[in-house]
A and B are shown apart, each in its own frame.
Chain A
Amino acid sequence: MALRAPRQGYSDALIRLGEKAENLVVLDADCAKSNLTNLFKEKFPERFFNIGISECDLVGTAAGLALAGKVPFANAYANFLTGRAFDQMRISVCYANNNVKVIGHNAGTSPAQEGATHLPLEDISLMRSLPRMTVIVPADAIEMKKAVVAAYEHHGPVYLRVGKLPVPIVTKEEDPFEIGKAITFKEGSDISLISTGMMLDETLKAAAILEKEGLQAEVIHVHTIKPIDVDAITRSAAKTKRVVTVEEHSIIGGLGSAVAEVLAEHQPTPMRRVGTQDRFGVSGKMDELLDFFGLRAANIVKAAKDCFEVIKVS
């Protein structure tokens, strides 16, 4: 399976967009080389601003640019961006309703050996809690390109999560992409596996393992965590009666929580959440971290079987 870095897809899309969209401006916080916004800078130097190691200032400046009619894409590492500049996003961006695109790089386990301080495992949770914020977590570099365009075309604050290291390409150019619309990658009747971001790959593998064991899993990819696709989730849960959520993020506040909220109110269903537990990370290669955190197809299969144990419905 082809591998590609989501940040590469992001950077390509940003440059293509920059050629048409003259009001597009790009900001970074001294991580342009790593976030590949340096490639945008090479093409459009006058529309690129390196604000330095100043994430709060970065977001505030982006708010000002938006206020004056530009469409700023403000880039920084997801952990520092959403952690440190949370209040600037809350007040200057969301409360003031400024059209800022906040791009959280180095997502999930992709900072790898940098270790706990750099692993953003809480960013979705934080961003999801902000009124007016749209939260998008693409599966791969192909979907990333569509997400960049959709974020630009959507009027209002958007948080887009971008991974650093190469991950499998699982979506196709012709797959649809609409903010807020989940995509069903495999139909099934026994259990719903609902994933976000690059975990779609392991989720599809888990579905294949379950299939060998005679269980038909439905795989739903939720690229937009907010607004979440209530309809797709409740419909699938009503059919399968068991749900597992899968994310490269803490089980607290991310996709798992969002789905649990939907199901609790609309379609109470036994569920399990696969994600990082309530703990900090360590240093390690990305593969080692996926094992360490239990973010593998085997973990998803185990969670699915747990659901069958809990409720033996027919």
Chain B
Amino acid sequence: MALSESKLAYYQELAKTIRQHIVRMTHHAGSGHPGGSLSATEILTNLFFEHMNVDPQNPDWEHRDYFFLSKGHCTPVYYSVLAEKGFFPVEELLTFRDVDGRLHGHPCSEHCPGVDISSGSLGQGLSVANGVALAAKLNGTNQRAYVMIGDGELQEGQVWEAAMTTPHYQLDNVCAIVDWNKIQLDDYVENVKGLGNLVGKWRAFGWHVIEIDGHDLNQVDHAFHEAKHVKGKPTVILAHTIKGKGISFMENTDKWHGLAPNDEELELALKELV
């Protein structure tokens, strides 16, 4: 079940490349969100390269699997993964947040190939995932809907309204991933408004819960496989992660939630990513 050694090495390299993109892009723009992008890097890399049924040549292919970045501020990792997957040229990443570009601060489905829905107002992704999952059931297709949610984002009431809808309609084609990096914009989530027993909450709502280390590619890969085999109920992957993962001075702090590295910090960061 584990990833082969060659695949594991390949994805570890790819994750490193994506982290380089993340710091370069935010440095280029002088703004953006590195912290929550670095925490989601392994998860999105594995999801798009191993599990998602998509066609970069035909982003609007009607039988594709869907992905919704509900924590829409994490465009640096999202765009990087889409570019590496072939939805648009990797060089375009350095037009991030440019006024005449299409890689806006938050994902725009009208402008950016591969983006299934515009987001950036937290809390809306799971409802949309439920919608496409209901349509797939109606159409009798085996399409899946993936949605990534931030742990701070879980404070939005709409998430829990949607979390009741998914099991009610037995949408086993929905897989939610919580990037559980323990930090939001202002502070640690526990200091702002704590999540309490998060595993118990999702279970009580009727979800199949998988708890993993979100930086361990084998665990990530295994979780997505397991989710595909769970029938009759949706799956949520609660991924323990580290905000700012991979760059020592960005790790485990709210400081780098929405801050871009300057020239010197970029250099330091890139040194750690060789």
Interface residues of A (CB under 8 A from B): 28, 30-34, 38, 50-54, 56-57, 79-80, 83-84, 112-118, 282-285, 288-289, 292
Closest to B258 in A: A34
Give Cα A110 to B69, complex, Å. Answer: 24
Determine if B31 is an interface residue (Cβ-Cβ < 8 Å).
yes
Give Cα A211 to B90, complex, Å. Answer: 51
Contacts A284-B99, A285-B99 known; A50 to B193 CB distance under 8 Å? yes
Show 23 residue pairs from A and B whose CB-CB distance is below 8 angstroms, ordered by the A residue: A30-B155, A30-B186, A30-B192, A33-B185, A34-B185, A38-B186, A52-B152, A52-B193, A53-B152, A53-B155, A53-B156, A54-B156, A79-B121, A80-B121, A115-B97, A116-B120, A117-B105, A117-B118, A118-B105, A118-B106, A283-B98, A283-B101, A284-B99
* A115 x B106 contact (CB < 8 A): yes
* A52 x B192 contact (CB < 8 A): yes
Q: Which residues of A contact B41 (CB under 8 A)?
A: none
Give Cα A289 to B155, complex, Å. Answer: 31
Give Cα A79 to B106, complex, Å. Answer: 14
Contacts A51-B193, A53-B123 known; A115 to B155 CB distance under 8 Å? no
Q: Which residues of B contact A113 (CB under 8 A)?
A: 29-32, 97, 105
Contacts A30-B192, A32-B186, A283-B98 known; A54 to B104 CB distance under 8 Å? no
Could you count the A-B residue pairs with CB atoms below 8 Å apart for me: how many are there? 93
Give Cα A50 to B32, complex, Å. Answer: 23
In the complex, which of the residues B101, B108, B122 contacts A53, with contact meaning CB atoms closer than 8 Å?
B122
Cβ distance A285 to chain B, nearest Cβ, rounded Å: 7
- Nearest 9 pairs between A and B by C-beta? A117-B120, A284-B99, A52-B193, A52-B155, A115-B104, A115-B105, A113-B97, A283-B104, A288-B99
Give Cα A283 to B119, complex, Å. Answer: 14
In the complex, which of the residues B29, B97, B101, B157 contacts A54, with contact meaning CB atoms closer than 8 Å?
B157
B interface majority secondary structure:
loop
* A116 x B104 contact (CB < 8 A): yes
Cβ distance A278 to chain B, nearest Cβ, rounded Å: 15
* B104 x A282 contact (CB < 8 A): yes
Give Cα A202 to B121, complex, Å. Answer: 30
Closest to A77 in B: B121
Contacts A52-B152, A84-B121, A117-B72 known; A33 to B193 CB distance under 8 Å? no
Could you mark each residue 152-186 of chain B with 1 if its beta carbon is under 8 Å from any beta carbon of chain A, else 0?
A: 11011100000000000000000000000000111
Could you mark each residue 75-106 of chain B with 1 if its beta carbon is under 8 Å from any beta carbon of chain A, else 0?
A: 00000000000000000000001110101111
Residues from 28 to 49 in B contacting A, C-beta threshold 8 Å? 29-32
Cβ distance A291 to chain B, nearest Cβ, rounded Å: 8
Give Cα A192 to B184, complex, Å. Answer: 47
Q: Which residues of A contact B119 (CB under 8 A)?
A: 117
